[in-house]
Every structure is written in C-alpha cells, then in structure tokens.
Chains A and B, each alone.
Chain A
C-alpha cells in the first residue's frame, strides 16, 4: 500500500496537539470521537485550513504550495456545515467544485447522487439532507486523490446513509482515493478499513473497526460500553 496523504506534526493551538497521520491509497478511514474531541480539528489541520504542520503531502506533493486548481485535485474537503446563503442552482454548486467547466462531469455527479429533480433548484430552498448531497457532489467533482469529509452522513435518510457509504467504498476501491470520514454513528464503522479515535485534541487509538469497539480507550472516550442489549452507559 502506498501512502496517499502524509501529515507530519500538524497542530492547532488549543484544539489539536501535535499529530502525525497518514492515509493509504484506497483506504476508507472513520474518524470518531465524542463531541468537541477534535474530529473536525484533525480534518481541518490535514486539509491545511488551520494551524501549522511540518508536512502535508498528497503523493509527495506539498498541498500548501499548490495552486487552487491543483490543490482541488489533490485534496477535497467537505465541512460539516450545510449553510448556503446565495440562491445558486444545485447544478451550479456542483460545478463550483471544478476549476474549469466540465458539464459532463457535473451530469455524472448529478446522476450518481440522484440529484436530477433538484438540479435546477436554488440550494437555499433545498432541505438539509438534499443540500448535504449537493455539497458532497461538489467535493467529489474534481476527483481529488484524498477526501476529508466532516460528518457527511448527518441529516441523511437511511437509504442515503447506506448508499453514500457504498459510494465512498467504490471511490476508494476504484480510484485508489484515500477517504477519511468523521462520523457519530458508531454502528456504521464496520464498513471502514480503519478507525481513528480522536479525543482531547489527539488521536487516542488507531485500530481496525472490530478491535476499536472493544478497546478500553474507546469506552473511556465515549463513556459507553457494549452490553447484552446494545450500547449502555459505562458504570
């Protein structure tokens, strides 16, 4: 396996302690942790949005010195917020993800995320779940080699939760994209290759999903444990 994303000594003062992490090609990684633990900070630091780092490289190329068009093809970031102020049509929002116009790619994404009925409607009039799909399509548009998605599954209905995980699995397998997904629904982590547990502003555990759920660090962070009838509060 080759490392797609290499992050060395990333740090955001007061939010994320010095952290080094890498993402392999074709790997689907879940980022979990309690509220305020630092999931978003970790993703933002890896996308070079905030804080400092010794190195943030995609396939050996420093993203921080790349031009906006190039950087968009190296790394895609989807923030957790779904707020959009301007009445831009859904199709045009997807197109904003591309540095140069490519209508066929936009059509492809609209079909992929089943946005056809919404394509012409202004995004500020869509439901939160619909907007989430439009914004994800925007992030996927330039086929970045690394995808950092902050809670892409929230606000989605059950069909779209499953469909999206299937889609991301496909993108990782087919294109060799390294995908990191921050999420809250710990019952979904079975489909991921690897799980990062983030708490107190640092990565506390980095394990395959099955081991993560039984790790002591896991129940310490979430203050829950697997009981006979599902998840229970830790004593």
Chain B
C-alpha cells in the first residue's frame, strides 16, 4: 500500500466518523440553541458511544475477517460465513435469556466463548487449508445449527418477550448503546486486534503454504489456533453488545487485499479501516431511513453484501472448473 493510499483511507475513515457523530445536523443545531447542556450530553452519551461502536465493530469485522481468511487460505472465511458470529449470538443469548446474566462483561465473555466454539467446530469439520466449498458448507452447517439453537433458546426462555426484544439486537443494531457497553465490546476487541496485527508477516508467508512457514521456524498450527481464539474473543465481545452483522467481514478484507497487492497479512490494517468505513456508512444510511422505524443495520449490510458474495462464489467456481 502506498503512503498516499494510506493517507486517503485514514482521512476517509475520519471524515465518515465525524459525519456519523454529528449527522443529522439540524436537530443538533436546534438543541444547541435551546439547551446547550442537553446537546453536549446527547453528543457524548448517545452519539459518541454509537460512533465508537460502529467504527470499532466494523474494524473488528474487517481485521478478523482478513486474519481468518489468511489462516484458512480462503477469501470466503469471514466471521459470518464461518459461523462465528452466529456462535457468539448463541452464547450471548444463552447467557442473557437462560442463565439470567445481565452484566455486559459476562455477556461478552459468553459471546466470545460461543464464537470460539463455532470456529473450533469449523476447524474440526473442514480442517484448516479447507477448499472453498467444504469451508462454506461447514460454516453454513454451523450457522444454521447455531441459528436454530438461538431460536430454540429464545422460544423456551423464561421471559415471554425474549423473541421480540432480541430481534433488533440479533439483527445488528447500534441504537441506544451506552459508553460502558461500548467499552465492554471494544476494549477486548482492540487488544485482540492488536495481537492479531503482530502476526501480519507470518500470515503473508502463509500464502506460500504451511511447510514454508514452518521451515522458517513459525508454528502454523499454533498460529492458526491463536488467530481463531483472538478473532473469536473480538467478534464475541462485539456481537454480545451489537448483535451479528453480516458481510462487512467479507467485503472489508476483499477491498483491503486490493490495496496490498493481494498480501493477506499486510491487508489486516486496511481491511479494518475499510470495515469501519463501511459500517459507518451503513449506520448513517439507516439513520436516514423512514421516521419512526428502525431498520437493523445488519439487514442493510446483508442486502448490500450478498451480490458481492455471489460474485465471489461464481469466480471461485470458474477457477475450480478451469
């Protein structure tokens, strides 16, 4: 990635974050005139955690997506398609509606555990250097199973409103999240992502095959487990606060690798930046939706991301055929 691209990318993310924080502008200005104290409160207590969460969650999806794709040597291995987001949702739902946990830290821990279990299952079902189709199928199976289990847990939950009030959260939403909630999701996620970045060089070399990496003294199996665990914790923490959001973890790394001339490890940082930018855009768009209705942001990213996913699958198929 050239320095110019890096600067442009960083500035775009910054501009989007500022826009996300202050838009729509009119009510903010009106409130500022009538009640400056409330306006400040609104900005720091409501708008700021939301912007932080959106940017952070997007960055987590992009970074972990890029790392998982590098480890599985598969451009489709994003958090949602590997089933780790669904696993995290199941973990958090189980903890929240079944075991009655309410503390955000406990929920985040259970979300992380759910994501790690899903990724560990994927490793056993499909194996690490799994080819595209078998990884997809194993991920699909895990997603479906975790989704069904989540529904079952909600249906049998002691609270009769479990289904209703979990809907918005599970589809991915950033409405009315507090600063402590943002901290619970983003602190562990940030630590995990920084630890992932340390592996950028090894992940680049992973492109040459595991034996080459091992011949240089790295331990590919240990790196694989480390990346799965770190990604699981980061995704789980975010999912437990904001729900599962699809396709950002697929598109972010795809665009990130275009910026690093195909290098899977070097793509971690740009993938994170693009993931953050994409989710900021999506959440901004949701905010300008019909008044009085909240469209879960996860619905929007899925609608926008599906065509790209289909295109990638078709490309993969033609390559296998060729």
Contacts and interface: CB of A to CB of B under 8 A. Distances in A.
Contact of A88 (B74, B217, B262): B262
B209 A83 contact: yes
Contact of B207 (A48, A76, A85): A85
Contacts of A92: 261-263
Nearest to A89: B261
Interface string B57-90: 0000000000000000111000000000000000
A231 interface: no
Given A85-B74, A86-B264, A96 B217 contact: no
B262 A77 contact: no
Contact of B214 (A49, A85, A86, A93): A49
A173 B319 CA distance: 42
Contact of A77 (B74, B75, B211): B211
A67 interface: yes
B205 A96 contact: yes
A107 B211 CA distance: 25
Contacts of A44: 211
Nearest to B207: A86
A44 B211 CA distance: 8
A4 to B, nearest CB: 16
Contacts of B310: none
A200 interface: no
Nearest to A70: B217
Nearest to B258: A87
A77 B217 contact: no
A188 interface: no
B215 interface: yes
Interface residues of B, number: 21
A81 interface: yes
A78 B211 CA distance: 8
Nearest to B216: A68
Contacts of A135: 208
B108 to A, nearest CB: 33
Contacts of A63: 217
Contact of B262 (A48, A64, A72, A89): A89
B20 interface: no
A71 B208 contact: no
A87 B209 contact: no
A87 B256 CA distance: 13
Nearest to A69: B216
A81 B209 contact: yes
B168 interface: no
Interface in B164-211: 204-205, 207-209, 211
Nearest to A79: B211
A84 B214 CA distance: 16
Contacts of B217: 48, 63-64, 66-68, 71
Contacts of B207: 84-86, 88, 93, 96
A169 interface: no
A31 to B, nearest CB: 16
Contacts of A84: 207-208
Interface of B: 73-75, 204-205, 207-209, 211-212, 214-218, 257, 261-264, 319
17 contacts: A48-B214, A71-B216, A75-B215, A77-B215, A79-B209, A84-B208, A86-B257, A86-B262, A86-B263, A86-B264, A88-B207, A88-B262, A89-B262, A92-B262, A92-B263, A93-B207, A135-B208
Given A68-B217, A81-B209, A86-B257, 5 more contacts: A79-B209, A83-B209, A85-B74, A92-B261, A92-B263
